[in-house]
Chain A
Amino acid sequence: KQEVTQIPAALSVPEGENLVLNCSFTDSAIYNLQWFRQDPGKGLTSLLLIQSSQREQTSGRLNASLDKSSGRSTLYIAASQPGDSATYLCAVKSNYQLIWGAGTKLIIKP
């Protein structure tokens, strides 16, 4: 059974720092991995999707990597801003289902 873990559960850093959020999964037979952002009381916004055949994806200040063999993905945020404060969730697609991590709550201090 696929399990997804995100570490840390919460992170607080000063504005301007580069940071890394971690996601690990137990079964390497995945279809893709998706990173989402959720603001308090709001829906989920897709940030990046990495297909199983890909190693990384980039969008602006965000870079997501995927290492299937070790069951890991990282989300790198460069030059963090207060507007990046949100909960970040990773989800692994196994078959048609997304299996979700519990999220990392990120606070960027001005």
Chain B
Amino acid sequence: DARVTQTPRHKVTEMGQEVTMRCQPILGHNTVFWYRQTMMQGLELLAYFRNRAPLDDSGMPKDRFSAEMPDATLATLKIQPSEPRDSAVYFCASGTVGGADEQFFGPGTRLTVL
């Protein structure tokens, strides 16, 4: 049963600390998306990768957020330094361009910045 996995599932940290979230897309998928979900804003797209290349990261605060795909099986989202307003659930999703184009979501990382 192919699934998107994310680690950690929960993270509590103090303001100013670095946070790294990891995502393993479904094998064979060539697109990866990072989303953030909050009660106030709903779901927001942070970054989009196709074939490991970042095509859109306009949704990310560039001064503190960075997203990478070191290889086809790993996507990372890093926040440095973290701030209380970054507290949210961060979702990773993967899919395929040219196929059904459906996005499959991971379980999310719930981040709390104190």
Chain B residues closer than 8 Å to A49, beta-carbon distance? 100-102
Compute how far the CA of A3 lies from the CA of B46 in the bound complex, rounded to whole angstroms.
18
Question: Known contacts A43-B91, A100-B42; is A93 also within 8 Å of B101 by CB?
Answer: yes
Q: Which of B63-71, B73-81, B104-112 contacts A (4 or more CB under 8 A)?
A: B104-112
Contact A32 B43 (CB under 8 A): no
Per-residue CB contact flags for chain B residues 6-20 toward chain A (1 = under 8 Å, else 0) read: 000000000000000
Interface of A is mostly: strand
Contact B107 A102 (CB under 8 A): no
CB distance from B107 to the nearest CB of A (A): 4
Contact A34 B103 (CB under 8 A): yes
Chain A residues closer than 8 Å to B45, beta-carbon distance? 97-98
Residues of A in contact (CB 8 Å), total 21
Interface residues of A (CB under 8 A from B): 31-32, 34, 36, 41-46, 49, 51, 89, 91, 93, 96-98, 100, 102-103
Interface residues of B (CB under 8 A from A): 31, 33, 42-43, 45, 48, 50, 55-56, 91, 93, 97, 100-108, 110
